[in-house]
Amino acid sequence: MPQLPIALWANSFVSWMSTHLAALFLVISGIIKGADSVFNTLFVDASWILMLAIFVLIALAVRGWSSAVATIMGGLLIQNMSLWTTTMSTLALVITSGIFALAVGIPLGIWAGQTERARTVIRPILDFMQTMPPFVYLIPAVLFFSLGAVPAVFATFVFAVPPVIRLTELGLRQVPSELVEAGEAFGATTGQLLVKIKLPQATPSILAGVNQTIMLALSMVVIAGMIGAGGLGGTVLQGISTLDAGLGFTGGLAVVLMAIYLDRMTERLGQGGLWISSVIGLLNKSPKTNTF
């Protein structure tokens, strides 16, 4: 059986995209640079004491005193290891990647949850994206955007967007049919069914997708240190390249602390999904009538 030139096809496709979509990649690069610059200004340039106080207040509001105390201890440990600025740089990349992933993923998930044809097309693509080794995404990212934060955000976006698409679709498809039928009986349009019934009911699943996307973005941003993204990924990579176990451990410890914080904060969003969906339902009700 003759061998298929799959590698040649892949190289030709990437080369074609680099040549014919250069203007598009230039626009994407500008958008990513602008967003990353904003978050770097917010997180990196600000006083570490101020930022730590903000993180502590968020933890206190979301999870209570125990999480606030743990946040103080973790933040002081990161500062003591002289990794605060590096950690904030990584956080800026995570937030930038996460925002783009959510901005694209949630609408695609809604589309897939509403249309069977869209679901049929999107699901194989998501299977491919989730099973492809994450290191592979770094190759086209570098070819399209060179080295630095931009290819890191691009590769992280591709790696982190599938969970929010899947969980948004899943949440919409798990809405009880009785509720949908009741809405249709009251004469609700497709848009009204989506906004007033399906989305409020699917909120916990969507917020779980937000949590998974943020966590995957963090893991990929660390890997992206290999292509000059900087941050904690660069610290870990430096420890590997110099066989400095202490440097690699401190960088990894800072990643763990940030991952725990982000996971606990976004996890509570998912746990509060029923409360949020109730608020959405109240906001959707007209003050004059209970009909659609």
pLDDT of 173 > 60? The answer is yes
Host domain of residue 93: 24-46+87-284
Which of the two residues, 10 and 74, has the higher pLDDT score?
74
Residue 226 domain flag: yes
pLDDT tens-digit readout, 17-31: 888 888 888 898 889
Residue 10 domain flag: no
Question: What is the Cα–Cα distance from 86 to 100, expressed in whole angstroms?
Answer: 22
pLDDT tens-digit readout, 80-135: 998 999 999 999 999 999 999 999 999 999 998 888 888 889 999 988 888 888 88
pLDDT of 262 > 80? The answer is yes
pLDDT of 77 > 90? The answer is yes
Closest CA to 26 of 155, 154, 137, 145: 145
Instruction: Please give the tally of structural domains in the chain.
Output: 1
pLDDT of 278 > 70? The answer is no
Residue 199 domain flag: yes
Closest CA to 32 of 153, 156, 159, 155: 153
Q: HSE (CB half, 13 Å, CA atoms) of 204?
A: 9
Closest CA to 72 of 232, 266, 261, 235: 261
> Does this model's pTM top 0.85?
no
Residue 75 domain flag: no
Residue 14 domain flag: no
Q: How confident is the model at residue 289 (pLDDT cuts 50, 70, 90)?
A: very low
Query: Three-state DSSP class for 191?
Result: helix
Residue 149, domain CATH: 1.10.3720.10
What pLDDT score does 283 carry? 47
Residue 248 domain flag: yes
Residue 54 domain flag: no
Question: What is the Cα–Cα distance from 278 to 282, expressed in whole angstroms?
Answer: 6
Residue 141 domain flag: yes
User: What residues have CB less than 8 Å from 111, skipping those under 6 apart?
Assistant: 118, 122
What pLDDT score does 272 carry? 52
What pLDDT score does 69 carry? 92
Which of the two residues, 136 and 288, has the higher pLDDT score?
136
Token pair, residue 186, equals 């009251």
Q: What is the DSSP string of 216-258?
A: HHHHHHHHGGGGT--HHHHHHHHHHHTT-HHHHHHHHHHHHHH
Q: How confident is the model at residue 236 (pLDDT cuts 50, 70, 90)?
A: confident
115 with 122: CB under 8 angstroms? no
Which of the two residues, 47 and 187, has the higher pLDDT score?
47
